[in-house]
Amino acid sequence: MRMYAAGQWIDAEKKINVLSPYDGTVVDRVPCADPGDVENAMEGAVRGARTMGSLPGYDRYRILRAAADLIEARSEDFARTITLEEGKSLAESRFEVSRAVQTMTLSAEEAKRLHGETIPFDGAPGAAGKFGFTLRVPCGVVVAISPFNFPLNLVCHKVGPALAAGNAVVIKPATDTPLSALKLTEVLLEAGLPADGIACLTGLGAEIGDALCRDRRVRKITFTGSRDVGERICRMAGIKKITMELGGNSPIIIMPDADLDKVALAVAATGYSNAGQVCISTQRVLTSEKIYGDFLDALKPKVAALTTGNPLDERTKVGPMIREKEAIRVEEWVNEAVAGGAQVVTGGVRQGAIYAPTVVADVSPDMRIFRDELFGPVVAVTRFDSIDEAIALANDTIYGLAAGIFTKNLEWAMRFAREVEAGNLMINWGPQWRADLMPYGGLKESGFGKEGPRYAVEEMTELKLVCFHLAG
């Protein structure tokens, strides 16, 4: 495919091969953008921001609504594209496409709801007779940088609200998975988006990231990706609005009164989707000493039953990791934990880029699979004695994206909600749960700002204050 900027589909001499994570075959080739392409995209986006800013909300609604319908009509093509470039199972890709339809539909609705409020100036000393209100206005040019793991829906979470709010947007998709974002760009143009309202630059973040993020014409950066790249972007960006959706190592707490069959089902469902490459995957399973053995007995068969293989095969539940080097990294971290005294309950084997769904028990908080973001199909089980210890372990991390607890006890559930430092808190389910309409984002070094179209539109706009100094 070609990339799109300043109203044109463009090519480049230097190309990037898009590879199947499963067998390494070339799925497609895309241009490798250079800083000159960034300049061209910026000039287009500045024009686009003027056009988008003067487009009525109802027109923006209709474009986004039409785009949602086009994605739905092309669901199977989008799903196959996601599986081919990203490696998740077809069932998971179909689910991602259905979520993208939701995200674009919600964004369309938000295009009609950009509003301010009246300010009660008469409540301020000496300000009687003044009349004021706030105006919500687009930022202008938005740069949207996205990760590999949800190549369609996470791009929609940025592009949908940015356009709903009347901005022009420059997308920089992950180099491993640029095809879904390019197809989304096609769909938006077909839906009637002004030609300069969007750009999609394919190229290496390490080569064009600085130019994109430093540019003073950019008024807003929305980034989803790893903590370290996020920190680099924050340092480079200078004075502009930023949303950071970064990594995590989400915990689930299993209290002694939990229904262990339901817990095992939830851990198997929330620890291994997309081969564990989900920012809110269940990574750390903090388990009460009282039910530790029974929980492992309930979990083991459920995880062992997760079939691995070719993600295009309808029977496959867990596909490959994005690259073999990532599966090798996961294997190293598990082996390191085992050398330190942890036990593999099931899994622990690798074939190329496929790492078998794995449970590691007796994990201690100093181990890498507890401390860092593993981002692979492994859960690490650790014991605790009391709710105080469970909450302390849950919070013993630089991250704060999501967490879950299983209990029937309201007091424990409420303490978890108040005291666990995470942006998304699930009671009686694992951390990996998201409805696209909810406010979503992390605390601590998992980032700042919220996604979910209603909340993202606020991040993509500025608030102006208007005051009438009336004569009377």
Residue from the set 442, 449, 452, 453 that interacts with ligand NAP by CB under 6 A: 442
Burial of 80 from C-beta contacts in 10 A (0-12 / 13-18 / 19+): middle
Question: SS3 of 93, please?
Answer: helix
User: Strands of 118-119's sheet, edge to edge?
Assistant: 118-119, 130-138, 461-469
Return the range that interacts with ligand NAP (CB under 6 A); candidates 139-147, 190-198, 349-357, 390-398: 139-147
Q: How many CB atoms lie within 10 A of CB 332?
A: 11
* Residue 225 binds to ligand NAP (criterion: CB under 6 A): yes
Burial bucket for residue 418 (CB in 10 Å: 0-12, 13-18, 19+): exposed
Per the annotation, the verdict on 421 as an active-site residue is no
Residue 453 binding ligand NAP, by CB under 6 A: no
Long-range CB contacts for residues 327-331, cutoff 8 Å, separation at least 24: 327/352, 327/353, 327/354, 327/355, 327/376, 329/376, 330/276, 330/355, 330/374, 330/375, 330/376, 330/377, 330/378, 331/355
User: 245, 326, 331, 373: which is the annotated catalytic residue?
Assistant: 245
Quote the least distance from Cβ 373 to ligand NAP, whole Å.
Answer: 6
Stretch of residues binding ligand NAP (CB under 6 A), selected from 93-101, 144-152, 181-189, 306-314:
144-152
Any contact of residue 204 with ligand NAP (CB under 6 A)?
yes
> d(Cα 2, Cα 448) in Å, to the nearest integer?
33
Candidates 92, 373, 436, 445; binder of ligand NAP (CB under 6 A) is: 373
Nearest partner of 325 among 210, 176, 157, judged by Cα: 176
Closest distance to ligand NAP from the beta carbon of 92 (Å): 14
Q: Is 232 in the site for ligand NAP (CB under 6 A)?
A: yes
Among 82, 164, 174, 275, which residue sits at the site for ligand NAP (rule: CB under 6 A)?
174
Contact 372, 365 (CB under 8 A): no
Least separation in angstroms between CB 146 and ligand NAP: 6
229, 318, 422, 457: which one contacts ligand NAP (CB under 6 A)?
Answer: 229
By beta-carbon proximity to ligand NAP, the closer residue of 234 and 260 is: 234
- Indicate whether 224 belongs to the interface with ligand NAP (CB under 6 A): yes
18 binds ligand NAP (CB under 6 A): no
- Region 331-360 residues binding ligand NAP, contact defined as CB under 6 A: none
Strand partners, 288: 384
Q: Which of 222, 288, 205 lies closest to 461, judged by CA?
A: 222
Shortest approach of ligand NAP to residue 200 CB, angstroms? 12
User: Which residues in 54-83 contact ligand NAP (CB under 6 A)?
Assistant: none
Is residue 143 part of the contact set for ligand NAP (CB under 6 A)?
no
Among 21, 31, 44, 205, binds ligand NAP (CB under 6 A): 205
Residue indicated by tokens 């067998």: 23
Least Å distance between CB 423 and ligand NAP?
9
CB atoms within 10 A of CB 113: 13
Is 217 an interacting residue with respect to ligand NAP (CB under 6 A)? no
Binding to ligand NAP, residues 276-335 (CB under 6 A): 279
What beta strand segments (E) does 302-460 contain? 343-346, 350-351, 354-355, 358-361, 378-384, 402-406, 424-427, 447-448
- Footprint on this chain of ligand NAP (rule: CB under 6 A): 145-149, 154, 172, 174-175, 204-206, 209, 213, 224-226, 229, 232-233, 245-248, 279, 373, 375, 401, 442, 447
Catalytic annotation, residues: 245
